[in-house]
Amino acid sequence: MANRSRAVRLGKCAVEVLARGTAFLGLGKVRIGRTDVRSGRLPLRPCSQTFTGLELGGLELLDIEERKSSVRIKTKAIFRPLPVKLMRDHSFDPIHETGDWDKPAVAGTGRLNIVLKPARDSFGGVAFEGFSYHYEYESRNVPLFYLLDLASWELDGDIRGATAISQSSCSAPTATFASDTRWTTEGVIHWDDAASIANPVMTHNLPRWASHQAFDFQYKGGKTLLGVFERVELIRSILKREPGKPELKCFDKHLFDEALAVRTSAKSILLNMEPKSDTAQRNVWTWVFDAVADRARAEFGLAEEPLVPRLCQNYWHDFTIDTYRRDLLPAAVALGFKALFVDNLNKSAMTERCPHPDFHWNMCCGHEYEVAPRLGGPAALKRFVADCREHGIRVNAWTNNDQALSSPVNAAERDDKGWFVRMEDTRLKYGGAYGAVFSILDMGVEPARRYWVDCLKKIKAETGLDGYLYDSFYNLGFMPVNYRTGKPSTQWRGLLAAFKELQDTGIHFLIESFGPFGSPQHGCPAAYAEPQNLFACYKVTGGFGYTTIPTTDLIQIEQSVGTLYRFFAHMASPSFGLFQNGVRIDRIWTERHKRVLADYHESLPHMHRRFLQEDDAGVLWHDAKGERATLWNFAEREAALPGRVRDLTAGENLPHAPAYRLEPSHTYAITGAAKLPTTLARETSP
């Protein structure tokens, strides 16, 4: 039977609907105005499975309901038995389908609609239009906990010649596609790891808003194509380009609490056709990034945690709180750091000498959320925090939701309180890649979340500690699914509710993750530190040269004044360790290094909207009120600047002049201008 197609129109958009007989195949080519945004070679369609053993076997096209405000493609979802269920038996072995196998079996049905609507949006004054699409599912007897959207999006129907920008933690942030370009955001281990030789896939699909960029961004020439979700959900995604193929594949897996009725977060596919240079495209990316992050935090009442460069030292063992007070604090004061990151100061398998005094796990294997007596207890921590606060320094200590197998909180073999995430057999407690040493609390379970929140509040009240790094935020906090009840459930909403409550009481978070829900401190490929990619390290403190776990070949960022200056100009930061190649950082940094850091601290409250420059000779920022511009200047040159100009680096106001001589690695504040500049005229060096 031959395939047939039908074009449906929605404003300026045309969408091809593909069918074979009564079978719905998916959506084919898509056009916005006169521009193709899908090749159409691979039909866009969903797939799914149930936890108890069914898979979506096909879709029957029932009707296409066309209205001015929407198009609803109505289908009947037909489910068949999976040969192997997702649920495991209590030995964690597979459970096979044991029904009759002599003919295809229909094991359940439902209604699954694709809903298309016109869409418009604007970012930094750049207007986009196109359409949105989402899935609606309903069934009497087949509950789902995920829908995987199989799609691809490519300008002109062919990704060749396009550039994608994606701030995702396991991949290079930019890719320009030639015929033979291979690129993916999948988390594939890229170093020699004996334990992973048989399986290099570390994290197959990272969560949007938590280590995978929350929106899609590609451009070709002046055209810009976006994919923007209407609301935060647990959506685990992969972007993938295979050599020789026209598509940029996009796999968006929508995960939710198991239900008989579901509506996924709508994804808007948006196009802007205004001519733009590569630099202008990167500016648009910045403004989309900021808007999407602001919208996400607003959904949960969270404030943005600013990127404050911090000095850190992980001793891992043989330390106390006073070790940090003796070693780290003096260096931070001498250099002008306003934040520190330290080890886990609460009880852990390390401090409690577990599982055996002669062999114990490290500080990442948590016990009770109580300041460890062996490290000095609350009194020592209170002294340390007070001494730091005297110099305007915030202490950030390690935390997360794991509890070691040796912890009294995790003592019950069968999790009698129901506090922990469990695996697909509904019994085994889950610890991700670390299940041999700990299990994780389910932040969606109110008593477990209450325990964690109340403990951190108590520590703040007793010691003043008000900053934490939430370790493994994306993989242990945001993305886990709990199978405890036999009905899969997510925990990310409970995690963000906990963050909101703690932020309201003055407790602030760094997160081991990319994303908007804390200040990111995360490992990433070395490509992020390359000069042409620094713009995409935006608002990230990076550990360059690894993906999510430290290795011996972690790249040491060359800390010349010019290098640090460029990082801070983009609101990005390396990880600053107490030691650089065995030498204390306070013996390496010069007065010029200190001045660069001081420039950043002084400018940070005024760095709201970023403007990259065509000549890459500096970065301009505007404050939120539109009253001040800040110029981070990279090269010696002369430039005309409006209003009053102050050289922050030199600490002096400059006399008004038709043009100013600008010094490299000097930062300038511009106030009193009728209109703040967004670009500087290209000038020759004096």
Beta bridge partners of 348: 366
Q: Does residue 549 have a pLDDT over 50?
A: no
| Region of poorest pLDDT, from 64-68, 428-432, 546-550, 581-585 | 546-550
Closest CA to 529 of 547, 512, 511, 545: 545
Q: Does residue 550 have a pLDDT over 60?
A: no
Number of domains into which the chain is organized: 2
In a domain, 95, yes or no: yes
Q: Does residue 555 have a pLDDT over 70?
A: no
The Cβ-side half-sphere exposure at 560, using a 13 Å CA radius, reads 5
In a domain, 325, yes or no: no
CATH number at residue 653: 2.60.40
Q: pLDDT tens digits, residue range 609-644?
A: 999 999 999 999 999 999 999 999 999 999 999 999
Domain's final residue, options 299, 317, 348: 299
In a domain, 422, yes or no: no
Nearest-angstrom CA–CA distance, 519 and 469: 9
Q: Does residue 235 have a pLDDT over 90?
A: yes
Give residue 581's pLDDT band: very low, low, confident or very high (50, 70, 90).
Answer: confident
What is the predicted pLDDT for the residue at 598?
98
Give residue 553's pLDDT band: very low, low, confident or very high (50, 70, 90).
Answer: very low
CA distances (Å), 500 to each of 235, 308, 522, in order? Answer: 21, 20, 21
- CB neighbours of 328 closer than 8 A, spacing ≥ 6? 311, 312, 313, 340, 342, 578
Give residue 551's pLDDT band: very low, low, confident or very high (50, 70, 90).
Answer: very low
Closest CA to 373 of 420, 329, 328, 321: 321
| Region of poorest pLDDT, from 103-107, 309-313, 586-590 | 103-107
In a domain, 371, yes or no: no
Domain's final residue, options 299, 322, 344: 299
Nearest-angstrom CA–CA distance, 217 and 302: 25
How many of the other CB atoms lie within 10 Å of CB of 359? 9
Average pLDDT, the chain: 95
Kindly state the tokens that stand for 194.
């004996």
CA distances (Å), 522 to each of 498, 542, 543, in order? Answer: 21, 5, 6
| Region of poorest pLDDT, from 207-216, 230-239, 333-342, 518-527 | 518-527
- CB neighbours of 180 closer than 8 A, spacing ≥ 6? 243, 244
In a domain, 352, yes or no: no
Nearest-angstrom CA–CA distance, 501 and 338: 24
Q: Can you tell me whether residue 375 is helix, strand or coil? A: helix
The Cβ-side half-sphere exposure at 92, using a 13 Å CA radius, reads 8
Mean pLDDT in residue range 35-39: 97
Q: Does residue 358 have a pLDDT over 90?
A: no
What is the predicted pLDDT for the residue at 552?
35
Closest CA to 268 of 209, 299, 226: 226
Kindly state the tokens that stand for 124.
């930094």
Q: pLDDT tens digits, residue range 482-532?
A: 999 999 999 999 999 999 999 999 999 999 999 999 999 998 998 999 999
Nearest-angstrom CA–CA distance, 473 and 492: 10
What is the predicted pLDDT for the residue at 109?
98
In a domain, 601, yes or no: no
Give the neighbor-by-neighbor strand order of the sheet with 573-574.
573-574, 541-544, 519-524, 508-511, 467-470, 394-399, 339-341, 311-312, 576-577
> The whole model's pTM is what?
0.96
**Parallel, antiparallel, or unpaired for β 311-312 and 339-341?**
parallel
What percentage of the chain exceeds 90 in pLDDT? 89
| Region of poorest pLDDT, from 50-64, 194-208, 346-360, 418-432 | 194-208
In a domain, 622, yes or no: yes
Mean pLDDT in residue range 69-81: 97
Mean pLDDT in residue range 397-417: 96
Give residue 360's pLDDT band: very low, low, confident or very high (50, 70, 90).
Answer: confident
Kindly state the tokens that stand for 568.
């801070």
How many whole angstroms from its chain centre is CA 590? 34
Mean pLDDT in residue range 578-586: 91
Q: Does residue 686 have a pLDDT over 50?
A: no
| Region of poorest pLDDT, from 99-103, 219-223, 632-636 | 99-103
User: Whole domain around residue 264: which residue ranges?
Assistant: 3-299
Q: Does residue 554 have a pLDDT over 80?
A: no
Mean pLDDT in residue range 376-403: 98
In a domain, 346, yes or no: no
Domain's final residue, options 271, 299, 327: 299
Q: Are 346 and 399 in contact (CB under 8 A)?
A: yes
Go through the chain and tell me how many residues it has: 686
Q: Using H for helix, E for strand and C for coil, what is the string for 317-330?
A: CCCCHHHHHHHHHH
